Amino acid sequence: MTTPDAAGSLEDFVAGLPKAELHLHLEGTLEPELRMALAARNGVALPHATVEEVRASYRFDSLASFLAVYYPAMDVLRTEQDFTDLAWAYLRRAAAQGVRRAEVFFDPQAHTGRGVPFAVVVDGLWDAVRRAPAELGVDAALVMCFLRDLSAESAMATLESSLPHRDRILGVGLDSDERGNPPVKFAEVFARAREAGYRLTMHCDVDQPGTLEHLRQVLEVIGVDRIDHGSNVVEDPALLAEVVRRGLGLTACPISNGFVTAQMKGPEIAQLLRAGAKVTVNSDDPAYFGGYVAENLVALAQAQGLGRADLVRLARNSFEVAWVDEPTRARYLAELDAYAAAAGVDDA
């Protein structure tokens, strides 16, 4: 374990802080360098000649404009090795930032829809996930997201194709364009996923049309085990009280929020923390938004004036709402307690 220096920098304290990352799209970790390398390996023509040109094309100010850049970029992911390389590059960065547990999203339909078989995606990702504990000290788990702008029938077919790989996939989520695609559209799919033993989460992205109704649906109709983003819940005291009462995890992504909407939602995240909600900080699509989990924690802390006890609380929340067995959770929390104690921080 890294021993924190009580007088050390905020950046060092955050990088050494043991934590779980619970909202991370693997496809959103496709850095321009890897995209160019995979394009060359697979003979895929890119519209950009240099890494700088690729980066310059990453301009967006809404969820829809981000997704319009995001999906075409995935075209370079073709083989099992490509998916392994993608996941491994992320897990290495996560390990360097103190991540002990990573529950990571992938979008099978974004690949099967362009002819890449489901098994190629899962087997490729799994090869990185299975090696990460011994080689990197990161426990990882795969969470399969359905694209909510496609039909419920397509999601159900994807769920069925996942069943032979059930032991390699921990849960299901719902992402992509939220406008006009409410949680209830997928009620049957998620009920079937629950029967199959999957854990359930859904995006309730920031400031989306109908966001409070979407939050109500994930709580009352779907019965999710966690909510991705969800910080608009502060606007409805009854919904917030229910989230707190259930101890439901909320996976906030501050830097990403600043792209999808006008700001990081820092005050809302701080309010959730003070209200006792199990809010966590994550990186969403770091290759596109420019910050992995540590940069997100630092950005939030600086914007909101959060102290080290708040950062320990955010890390504690991440382990408390991670989908792990109790002995594993106790091990993570003991490591966090030791880190906080060595830094002279008490978040009680």
* Position 21 contacts ligand ADE (CB under 6 A): no
Q: For residues 218 and 52, give the distance between their C-alpha atoms in angstroms, rounded to a whole number.
A: 40
Q: Report in angstroms how near the CB of residue 266 gets to ligand ADE at its nearest.
A: 17
Smallest Cα–Cα separation from 215: which of 226, 237, 230? 230
Nearer to ligand ADE, 110 or 340 (CB): 110
Q: Report in angstroms how near the CB of residue 130 gets to Zn ion at its nearest.
A: 24
Question: Site for ligand ADE (CB under 6 A): which residue of 19, 203, 226, 278?
Answer: 203
* Position 63 contacts ligand ADE (CB under 6 A): yes
Question: Site for ligand ADE (CB under 6 A): which residue of 16, 28, 124, 183?
Answer: 28
Which distant-in-sequence residues (6+ apart) come within 8 Å of 97 by Cβ?
Answer: 14, 15, 19, 292, 293, 294
* Position 284 contacts ligand ADE (CB under 6 A): yes
* Position 199 contacts ligand ADE (CB under 6 A): no
Nearer to ligand ADE, 80 or 284 (CB): 284
Nearer to Zn ion, 169 or 174 (CB): 174
Q: For residues 42 and 39, give the distance between their C-alpha atoms in angstroms, rounded to a whole number.
A: 5
Q: Are 199 and 219 in contact (CB under 8 A)?
A: no
Question: Site for Zn ion (CB under 5 A): which residue of 21, 284, 295, 310?
Answer: 284
At 32, list the tokens.
């321009």
* Position 201 contacts ligand ADE (CB under 6 A): no
Which distant-in-sequence residues (6+ apart) come within 8 Å of 165 by Cβ?
Answer: 118, 119, 122
Question: Site for ligand ADE (CB under 6 A): which residue of 25, 199, 265, 278?
Answer: 25
What are the angstrom distances between the C-alpha of 337 and each of 11, 202, 269, 314, 345? 19, 30, 23, 13, 9
21 sits in which H/E element: strand 19-21
- Which range of residues in 261-269, 281-289, 311-319, 337-345 is near Zn ion by CB under 5 A? 281-289
Q: Which does residue 251 touch among Zn ion, ligand ADE, none (CB within 5 to 8 A, set by kind)?
A: none
Which distant-in-sequence residues (6+ apart) come within 8 Å of 211 by Cβ?
Answer: 204, 205, 232
Nearer to ligand ADE, 69 or 341 (CB): 69
Helix or strand or coil: residue 146? Answer: strand
Q: Within 10 A of 190 (CB to CB), how many other CB atoms are there?
A: 27
Q: For residues 268 and 264, give the distance between their C-alpha atoms in angstroms, rounded to a whole number.
A: 9
Question: Site for ligand ADE (CB under 6 A): which residue of 75, 82, 139, 285?
Answer: 285
Question: Site for ligand ADE (CB under 6 A): which residue of 75, 85, 139, 175?
Answer: 175
Site string for ligand ADE, 237-276 (x = CB under 6 A): -------------------x--------------------
Strand order in the sheet with 226-229: 19-21, 99-106, 139-147, 171-175, 199-204, 226-229, 249-252, 278-281
Nearer to Zn ion, 284 or 310 (CB): 284
By the criterion CB under 6 A, which residues form the site for ligand ADE? 25, 28, 63, 175-176, 203, 205, 256, 284-285
Q: Residues in the site for Zn ion, rule: CB under 5 A?
A: 284
